[in-house]
Chains A and B, each alone.
Chain A
Amino acid sequence: MKVSRKTAILFLLPNLLGFLVFTFGPVFFSLGASLTDWNLQEPGQTSFVGLANFAELLLDKKFWLYFVNTVYFLLGMPFAIAGSLFLAVLLNQKIKGMVAYRTLLYLPSFTSGVALMILWKALYNPTFGPINQFLLATSRVLHLPMDVPQWLLSTKNILGLEPEKLGMTGTQFGIGARDALILMGIWMSIGGSNMLLYLAALTNVPEDLTEAAQLDGASRWQCFRAVTWPSLAPTTFFIITMGLIGGLQGGFEQARVMTGGGPAGSTTTLAYHIYSKAFEEFRIGYASAVAWILFAIVFAVTLAHWKFGSREATDL
Chain B
Amino acid sequence: MRGAFLISVLVLCIASVAMWKSQPNEAADGRTRLVWTSDDNPLRKEQVELFNQTNRDCQLVLDPVNSQIEKVIVQSIAGVGPDLLDCRDTNQLQAFVKAGIAWDVTEELPKLGIDIKKDTWPVMQPMGVFENRVYGVPTNCAPNAVWVNEELVARCGVTIPRTPLKWNDLIRLAQKLTIRDSNGQPIQYGFLFDWWNFSHFLLTYGAQFFNEDGTKCIVDSPEAIEAVQLMHDLIYKYKVAPSPVEEAGLASQGGWGSGTINYFGAKRGALALGGRWWLANLRKFTGLKLGVIQSPFGTVQTSSAAGRVTLINKNSPHRQEALKFLAFLASKPYNTLINSQADGIAAFKEYCVGADFQFDPKHPDELDNDVWKDAADRSSYQRTSPFINGGLANQILSTQLDLVRIDAKSAQAALHDAATEINFEIKQSIRKKPKLREEYDRRIREAGR
A residues at B contact (CB < 8 Å): 3-4, 7, 10-11, 14, 37, 40-43, 122, 125-128, 150, 152-155, 163-164, 262-265, 276, 279-283
Q: Which residue of A lies closest to B405 (CB)?
A: A263
Question: Is there contact, CB below 8 Å, between A281 and B392?
Answer: yes
Chain A residues with CB below 8 A from B95, complex form? 41, 282
Query: Which of B213-221, B242-250, B278-286, B294-302 is the contact stretch?
Result: B242-250
Chain B residues with CB below 8 A from A42, complex form? 98-99
Q: Which residue of A lies closest to B1 (CB)?
A: A7
Question: Is there contact, CB below 8 Å, between A282 and B73?
Answer: yes
Q: Which residue of B lies closest to A156 (CB)?
A: B408
Question: Can you list 21 A-B pairs, Cβ within 8 angstroms, ordered by A?
Answer: A4-B1, A7-B5, A40-B73, A40-B99, A43-B77, A43-B99, A122-B252, A125-B252, A126-B248, A127-B248, A150-B244, A150-B406, A153-B244, A153-B248, A155-B403, A155-B408, A262-B398, A262-B399, A281-B391, A281-B395, A282-B73
Chain B stretch 244-280: residues in CB contact (< 8 A) with chain A: 244-246, 248-249, 252
In the bound complex, CA of A263 to CA of B399 (Å):
7
Chain B residues with CB below 8 A from A125, complex form? 248-249, 252
Chain B stretch 387-406: residues in CB contact (< 8 A) with chain A: 389, 391-392, 395, 398-400, 402-403, 405-406
Question: Is there contact, CB below 8 Å, between A153 and B245?
Answer: yes
Chain A residues with CB below 8 A from B99, complex form? 40-43, 282
Main secondary structure of the interface of A (DSSP, over half): loop
Q: Which residue of A lies closest to B97 (CB)?
A: A41
Question: Is B21 an interface position by the 8 A CB rule?
Answer: no
Question: Is there contact, CB below 8 Å, between A11 and B248?
Answer: no
Q: A152-B248, A281-B392 are in contact. List 11 more A-B contacts (CB 8 A).
A: A7-B1, A7-B5, A10-B2, A125-B248, A153-B244, A164-B399, A265-B399, A280-B70, A281-B391, A282-B99, A282-B389
Among A154, A265, A282, max chain B CB count under 10 A is at A282
Question: Is there contact, CB below 8 Å, between A11 and B70?
Answer: no
Question: Is B417 an interface position by the 8 A CB rule?
Answer: yes
Main secondary structure of the interface of B (DSSP, over half): helix
Task: Specify which of B100, B400, B432 is in contact with A43 (CB 8 Å cutoff).
Answer: B100
Chain A residues with CB below 8 A from B100, complex form? 43
Interface size class of B (residues with CB under 8 A): 20 to 34
Q: Given A164-B417, A263-B403, A127 and B389 touching (CB < 8 A)?
A: no
Chain B residues with CB below 8 A from A280, complex form? 70, 391-392, 395
Question: Is B74 an interface position by the 8 A CB rule?
Answer: yes
Q: Given A153-B406, A164-B417, A262-B399, A40 and B389 touching (CB < 8 A)?
A: no
Question: Is there contact, CB below 8 Å, between A281 and B5?
Answer: no
Question: Is there contact, CB below 8 Å, between A154 and B74?
Answer: no
Chain B residues with CB below 8 A from A128, complex form? 249, 252
Distance (whole angstroms) from the CB of B130 to the closest CB of chain A: 13
In the bound complex, CA of A276 to CA of B408 (Å):
24
In the bound complex, CA of A292 to CA of B406 (Å):
35
Task: Specify which of A10, A14, A126 is in contact with B245 (CB 8 Å cutoff).
Answer: A126
Q: Given A41-B389, A280-B391, A127 and B2 touching (CB < 8 A)?
A: no
Question: Is there contact, CB below 8 Å, between B403 and A163?
Answer: yes
Chain A residues with CB below 8 A from B2, complex form? 3, 7, 10
Chain B residues with CB below 8 A from A11, complex form? 5
Task: Specify which of A155, A163, A262, A279 is in contact with B70 (CB 8 Å cutoff).
Answer: A279
Q: Which residue of A lies closest to B77 (CB)?
A: A40
Among A37, A43, A128, A153, max chain B CB count under 10 A is at A153
Distance (whole angstroms) from the CB of A260 to the closest CB of chain B: 9
In the bound complex, CA of A3 to CA of B74 (Å):
45
